[in-house]
Amino acid sequence: MTTQFSRPWLILGFIIPILCLTLLTLNHHWQRMHGTTVTLPVKGYDPRNLLAGHYVIYRVDYGMVVSCITPQRAVMCLNHNKDNKWQGALLKEGVDPTLTRCAAFIKGTCNANLFTADIERFYIPERFAAQLDKAVRGDQGQVVLKVSPSGKAVVTDLLIEGRSWRDYVSS
């Protein structure tokens, strides 16, 4: 017979995962509500099967040529260009993005000339996969991000021809 856990310990054991998941959700939600809104064009498409449908995998176009070979942590500094569009500049490793003139910055990884920040995926329902596939392939897609002051970015919407994908598929 194994030792019995005391009631408070047992309750704590079950509460910890629920509390962690709640905090995770609240953190994502807070980021979605706050932070700088950044809209960037996307390229590429890769549909994958998932229980609730598909997701789109794309490459975010930061308006610059990314150059790195080995995997390294990197920071993408974002500013508005002359056309009032977001333009990225990859900061070297060790450069403090808060000390440079960045309207927003995203922390991520640079590998094989590609900057990624865990924002390269967007979940879509299966029945709209073909329609959205066609649109994103035609370079009509954009992602709307919320970037926190600490450099964490979350995707809030996928735009097709400047409209939210929900409006696009319903029109």
Partner 1 sequence: MNKYLAKLTEWHKQGFITPQQLQQILDYESAQPSSPSIIRGFIFLGVCVTAMGMISLIAANWMEIPDILKLLCDFLVLSFIAVEAMRYYSHPQPLRYDALLLGFLLLVMASIGLIAQIYHTYGKFYFAILFWSAMTLPIIFSARHRLNTFIWVGLTLGALMCWVVTPDRGFLTRVPQDIVLLGSLMITTLGCVGLGQFLARWECSRIFAEGFKIWAPYYGLLVVLLVDNGFQAKSILSDFYNSPFGSIYLIIAGLTLFGIYTQEKFSDGQKYLLMLMIVVFSLLPLISLSPINLRFTSALCTIVLFMFAALYYGSRDRIDWFNFFIVLIGLRFFMVYLQVIGSLATTGVGLVISGLVLIALTSFWAKNRNQLQLWVKRRLQ
Decide: is 168 part of the binding site for partner 1 (CB under 8 A): no
Tell me 161's DSSP state.
T
| Min CB(16)–partner 1 separation in Å | 6
Which member of 39, 53, 79, 89 binds partner 1 (CB under 8 A)? 53
- Helix, strand or coil for residue 1? coil
- Residue pair 38/80 in contact (Cβ under 8 Å)? The answer is no
Cα–Cα distance, 11 to 22 (Å, whole number): 16
91: three-class secondary structure by DSSP: strand
103: contact with partner 1 by CB under 8 A: no
Q: Which of 33, 49, 51, 82 binds partner 1 (CB under 8 A)?
A: 51
List, in sequence order, every beta strand (DSSP E) within 12-170.
36-43, 48-50, 53-57, 59-60, 72-80, 86-91, 104-111, 114-116, 121-124, 141-147, 153-160, 163-164
Q: How many residues sit close enough to partner 1 to count as binding (CB under 8 A)?
A: 42
Any contact of residue 21 with partner 1 (CB under 8 A)? yes
Q: Enumerate residues 115-154 that contact partner 1 by CB under 8 A.
A: 118-123, 125, 154
Q: Is residue 165 within the footprint of partner 1 (CB under 8 A)?
A: no
Nearer to partner 1, 5 or 138 (CB): 5
End-to-end CA distance of the chain: 64
22 touching partner 1, by CB under 8 A: yes
In the complex, the smallest distance separating the C-beta of residue 14 from partner 1, rounded to whole angstroms, is 4
Classify residue 166 by burial, with Cβ atoms within 10 Å: 0-12, 13-18, 19+: middle
Among 34, 37, 50, 80, contact with partner 1 (rule: CB under 8 A): 50
Residues in contact with partner 1 by CB under 8 A are 2-5, 7, 9-18, 20-22, 24-25, 28-29, 32, 50-53, 55, 70-71, 109, 111, 118-123, 125, 154-156
